[in-house]
Amino acid sequence: MNFKNFKFDLNNKNKDLIPQVLTILFLVLVVIYFTINAQNNMGNRGISFGFGFLSQESSFDITFSLIDYDGSDSYARAFLVGLLNTILVSSIGIFFATLLGVTIGIGRLSQNYLIAKAAEWYVEIFRNIPLILQIFFWYFAALRALPLTIDSINFYDISFLNVKGWYVPRFIWTNFSVFFYSIILAIISIIFFSRYAKKQRDEFGKQLPTLYISLGLIIGLPLLTFIIGGVGLSFEIPVLEQLSKTIYVYKGGVSIIPELISLALALSMYTATFIAENVRAGILGVGKGQKEAAASIGLTKGQILKLVVMPQALRIIIPPTTNQYLNLTKNSSLAAAIAYPDIVLVFAGTALMQTGRAIEIISITMLTYLSLSLSISIFMNWYNKKIAIKEK
């Protein structure tokens, strides 16, 4: 036994242990301190910690809801309405931000001087104005300048835009499930087909027109269900109705409230600038030699883009773009500023005011955002891993 050596080891262990114990002790003390205070405070106000209030009647109305909801439903249902609204505006925002961002990112690299400059100025302008101001601008200034209901802007007599919102036809389906399953079937067959096509390419060097066949499948199969599956689709077009001498209102159809329009508009225009920069960096990040090498082995321009440039560019583009999707989802909470009934407004706003349960409600709201963020980042990590070039 070497006693000296043993002591040295112990010292080293202590050196590692002490700061860790101190950290944990500090955290535990903070939590205990906060808990005791919170208990005292809630005791003084005569409320006790618990989530029982979620099943109580909410007795407030929500202006925009994807599911059936009225004041007699529970707080839990109000929470669900808010959550769905958040998810709705985030998905719309992500879709348009990607579309716009990719277009502008490619535009910035255009050899056309005007397009490149226009794209650059778009990015510079919309990136450097706070998002909340853009939301205010669209909601309070731009959309308020729209005409009144009676002089709505008319899109081919099926859709109407006015200061109260945007009225679009409602889809009325018969046998929707058949249609839905046909889309799933189409997606599955596309996956199988592209696997088969890849095999053909890898083994025999044959190029199959994957894109056209995939497009044909995803359009053709659902169309087929209209003919043989008994699927029907009709539209309920919004109609102008006169309620009194000066009050007009659109009945029927789906009304998209101005809050949703301005929020989605501002979110996607703002986030698009960041996505555009990512796309640009990604395409610039693919070495010139790669394109030249691909051209020298006789690939066509389209093939170079699809098989050489994009797979490498996507590797650079996707991680920061994931972050932007996360940011967009979190930024959708600014909805509270213009009274779009998202989770923050419905739950951390109205519900909190009514129940006074600050700790429970704020924790639920924060946890919801945390899990939304985590689920997007897990999905994107999975996708990122999938497209990452596997080095042999």
Partner 1 sequence: MKNILIKPSKEKLNSFVSFGSFFISIAFIDVLANTFLNLNFTSFLPGKLSYFAPLIIGTIGLYFIRIEFSGNKMLDRINTNFNSNNLNAVLSLIVIFALIKYIPPVLNWFFFDANFVGNSKEECTGSGACWIFVKVWFNRFVYGMYPDAEQWRINSAFFILFALVGASFFVSGKYKTYLIIFLLFVYPIIGLKLISGGDFGLKYVETGAWGGLSLTFIVSAFALILCFPIGMFLALGRRSNLPAIKYSSIGFIELWRGVPLITVLFMSAVMFPMFLPDGTYVDKLIRVLIAITLFEAAYMAEVIRGGLQALPKGQYEAAKSLGMGYWRMHFLIILPQALKLVIPGIANTFLALVKDTPLIFVVGLLELAGMVNLAKTNPKWLGMAMEGYVFAGLVFWIICYAMSRYSQNLEKKLSTER
Q: Which residues bind partner 1 (CB under 8 A)?
A: 16, 19-21, 23-24, 27, 33-34, 37-38, 40-42, 44, 110-115, 118, 124-125, 127-134, 136-137, 140-142, 144-145, 330-334, 336-337, 344, 348, 352, 358-359, 362, 365-366, 369-370, 373-374
Nearer CB in complex with partner 1: 93/253: 93
Q: Minimum distance from CB of 49 to partner 1 (Å)?
A: 10
Nearer CB in complex with partner 1: 100/231: 100
Nearer CB in complex with partner 1: 237/336: 336
Close Cβ partners of 154 (under 8 Å, ≥ 6 residues apart): 160
Nearer CB in complex with partner 1: 113/212: 113
| Tokens linked to 35 | 């808990």
Nearer CB in complex with partner 1: 290/373: 373
Nearer CB in complex with partner 1: 122/160: 122
Nearer CB in complex with partner 1: 116/187: 116
Q: Minimum distance from CB of 67 to partner 1 (Å)?
A: 23
Q: Minimum distance from CB of 329 to partner 1 (Å)?
A: 8
What are the C-alpha distances in Å from 163 to residues 151, 244, 376?
10, 18, 34
Q: Minimum distance from CB of 217 to partner 1 (Å)?
A: 29
Q: Minimum distance from CB of 391 to partner 1 (Å)?
A: 20
159-162 sheet: strands from edge to edge:
153-155, 159-162, 165-168, 254-256
Tallying the residues shown for the chain, one arrives at: 392
Nearer CB in complex with partner 1: 137/226: 137
| Tokens linked to 140 | 């309070």
**Chain centroid to CA 61:** 25
Q: Minimum distance from CB of 108 to partner 1 (Å)?
A: 13
Q: Are strands 170-174 and 165-168 parallel, antiparallel or unpaired?
A: unpaired
- Give the integer Cα–Cα distance in Å for 224 and 218: 11
Nearer CB in complex with partner 1: 20/72: 20
- Give the integer Cα–Cα distance in Å for 175 and 272: 37
What are the C-alpha distances in Å from 171 to residues 92, 232, 233, 235, 253?
18, 10, 7, 5, 8
What are the C-alpha distances in Å from 153 to residues 78, 223, 258, 263, 314?
33, 32, 14, 20, 40
Q: Minimum distance from CB of 72 to partner 1 (Å)?
A: 26
Q: Minimum distance from CB of 388 to partner 1 (Å)?
A: 19
Nearer CB in complex with partner 1: 161/335: 335
| Tokens linked to 354 | 């009514």
Q: Minimum distance from CB of 145 to partner 1 (Å)?
A: 8
